[in-house]
């Protein structure tokens, strides 16, 4: 059995319903860590207290080149937070979240506590069941259209979390977005610092990784995966990536921008929760998603993308959505690895 699948095999049957709040919060974390994160860095840490839990940014896992302001890092933590909320509600607890509770401590992103028991709704069940089914799916999608009602539900899900989801519609706009993605690929791959950072997070297939990107996610063939970090560090594959991503973008039935009206840490946390709300709602209806975020990571492209959406505000994620073949789970660190056990802030896991 592949050990990297283990965190994905968490079973709701094991929820410690009759135990202390701390034990319950620790169990909920098992769902939090299944959230998506940029380069699968899993840049989060958690501290359990008797009645609540603290969610911290782990900036040792920051991507200084591709994400210099920790925007994507914060979005990733927001997505983990949303999973925790969904799981709490599934187990019948109201989840109260206080974002950025201490101005003097910017690493403390949120405080979570469990309120009185509430009734589990069918929506809670749909979202909860989707947590273990959600994976980033970079494969081509079928051309089948996505029902309008589902797209409206996704936009409503984003809005409920304080963000917006804007579809890119019309051939001209879709072409412009595909060109932005391709242009961003060329710009990023031409930068050796970008390649060095990416190479650090790429894991050859044979390695029993607990984080990072599997080489196949970057289109590296299985038999070459052992050499993937070196290949990525050394060669500018920008032209190939641009051609592939242009085609993938244009072939996706839905392209959509998730954004916020402002650009603060709080907005990034809202965007992360909205992102996971959209992804889980989509997955609950059999829809897959992946991201073409390079068009947001390169500042000039981000400004142009904002123009294409035709609305003010700040694009945070560029999504493609559609129906397609199954995607596989990716590695995760265990809950133990991301728990802060001591006041000094040290986690138990290896780094």
Ligand X SMILES: Cc1cc2nc3c(=O)[nH]c(=O)nc-3n(C[C@H](O)[C@H](O)[C@H](O)COP(=O)(O)O)c2cc1C
Return residues touching ligand X (CB under 6 A): 36-40, 72, 75-76, 79, 135-136, 138, 213, 290-291, 293-294, 330
Give me the count of residues in the chain. 351
Using CA of residue 181, residue 273, residue 72, residue 332, what is the dihedral sign? negative
Q: Which is nearer to ligand X, 23 or 216 (CB)?
A: 216
> Which of 87, 76, 28 is CA-nearest to residue 52?
28
Bridge partners, 113 (sequence order)? 52, 96
Q: State the nearest-atom distance from the C-beta of 74 to ligand X, in Å.
A: 9
> Which of 142, 84, 149, 144 is CA-nearest to residue 114?
84
3 state DSSP class of 122: helix
Q: State the nearest-atom distance from the C-beta of 127 to ligand X, in Å.
A: 16
Q: Which is nearer to ligand X, 114 or 282 (CB)?
A: 282
Q: State the nearest-atom distance from the C-beta of 41 to ligand X, in Å.
A: 8
Bridge partners, 203 (sequence order)? 214
For residues 218 and 244, give the distance between their C-alpha atoms in angstroms, rounded to a whole number. Answer: 10
Angle at 280 between CA 135 and CA 289, to 5 degrees: 45
For residues 348 and 351, give the distance between their C-alpha atoms in angstroms, rounded to a whole number. Answer: 9
For residues 298 and 76, give the distance between their C-alpha atoms in angstroms, rounded to a whole number. Answer: 18
Q: Which is nearer to ligand X, 78 or 174 (CB)?
A: 78
Q: Which is nearer to ligand X, 112 or 280 (CB)?
A: 280
Q: State the nearest-atom distance from the C-beta of 19 to ligand X, in Å.
A: 28
Q: Which residues lie closer than 8 Å to 232 by C-beta, 6 or more apart?
A: 195, 198, 199, 202, 218, 220
CB 33 within 8 A of CB 42: yes
Q: Which is nearer to ligand X, 92 or 251 (CB)?
A: 251
3 state DSSP class of 307: helix
Q: State the nearest-atom distance from the C-beta of 272 to ligand X, in Å.
A: 7
Q: State the nearest-atom distance from the C-beta of 115 to ligand X, in Å.
A: 27
Q: Which is nearer to ligand X, 63 or 155 (CB)?
A: 63
Q: Which is nearer to ligand X, 135 or 246 (CB)?
A: 135
CB 48 within 8 A of CB 96: no
Q: Which is nearer to ligand X, 93 or 211 (CB)?
A: 211
Q: Which is nearer to ligand X, 24 or 330 (CB)?
A: 330
> Which of 351, 268, 341 is CA-nearest to residue 79?
268
CB 245 within 8 A of CB 290: no
Give the ranges where 106-170 is alpha helix by DSSP (H).
Answer: 122-131, 148-160
Number of C-beta neighbours around residue 116 at 10 A = 8
Q: State the nearest-atom distance from the C-beta of 36 to ligand X, in Å.
A: 3
Q: State the nearest-atom distance from the C-beta of 341 to ligand X, in Å.
A: 25
Q: State the nearest-atom distance from the C-beta of 269 to ligand X, in Å.
A: 12
């Amino acid at each position: 059995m592949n050990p990297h699948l283990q965190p994905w095999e968490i079973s709701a049957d094991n929820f410690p319903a009759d135990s202390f709040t701390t034990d319950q919060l620790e169990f909920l974390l098992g769902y939090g860590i299944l959230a998506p994160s940029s380069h699968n860095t899993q840049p989060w840490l958690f501290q359990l207290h008797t009645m609540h839990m603290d969610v911290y940014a782990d900036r040792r896992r920051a991507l200084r080149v591709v994400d210099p302001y920790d925007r994507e890092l914060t979005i990733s933590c927001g997505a983990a937070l949303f999973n925790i909320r969904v799981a709490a509600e599934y187990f019948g607890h109201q989840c109260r979240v206080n974002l950025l509770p201490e101005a003097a401590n910017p690493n403390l992103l949120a405080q979570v506590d469990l309120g009185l028991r509430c009734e589990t709704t069918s929506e809670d069940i749909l979202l909860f069941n989707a947590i273990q089914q959600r994976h980033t799916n970079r494969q081509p999608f079928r051309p089948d259209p996505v029902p309008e009602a589902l797209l409206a539900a996704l936009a409503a899900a984003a809005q409920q979390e304080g963000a917006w989801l804007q579809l890119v519609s019309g051939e001209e706009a879709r072409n412009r977005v595909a060109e932005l993605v391709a242009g961003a690929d060329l710009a990023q791959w031409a930068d050796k610092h970008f390649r060095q950072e990416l190479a650090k997070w790429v894991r050859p297939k044979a390695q029993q990784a607990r984080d990072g990107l599997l080489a196949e996610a970057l289109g590296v063939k299985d038999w070459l995966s052992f050499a993937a970090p070196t290949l990525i560090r050394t060669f500018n594959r920008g032209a190939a990536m641009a051609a592939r991503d242009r085609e993938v973008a244009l072939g996706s039935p839905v392209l959509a921008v998730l954004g916020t009206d402002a650009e603060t840490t709080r907005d990034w946390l809202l965007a992360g929760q909205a992102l996971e709300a959209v992804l889980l709602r989509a997955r609950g209806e059999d829809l897959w998603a992946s991201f073409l975020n390079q068009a947001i990571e390169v500042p000039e492209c981000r400004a142009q993308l904002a123009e294409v959406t035709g609305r003010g505000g700040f694009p945070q994620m560029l999504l493609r959505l559609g129906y397609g073949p199954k995607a596989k789970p990716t590695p995760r660190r265990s809950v133990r690895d991301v728990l802060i056990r001591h006041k000094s802030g040290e986690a138990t896991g290896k780094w």
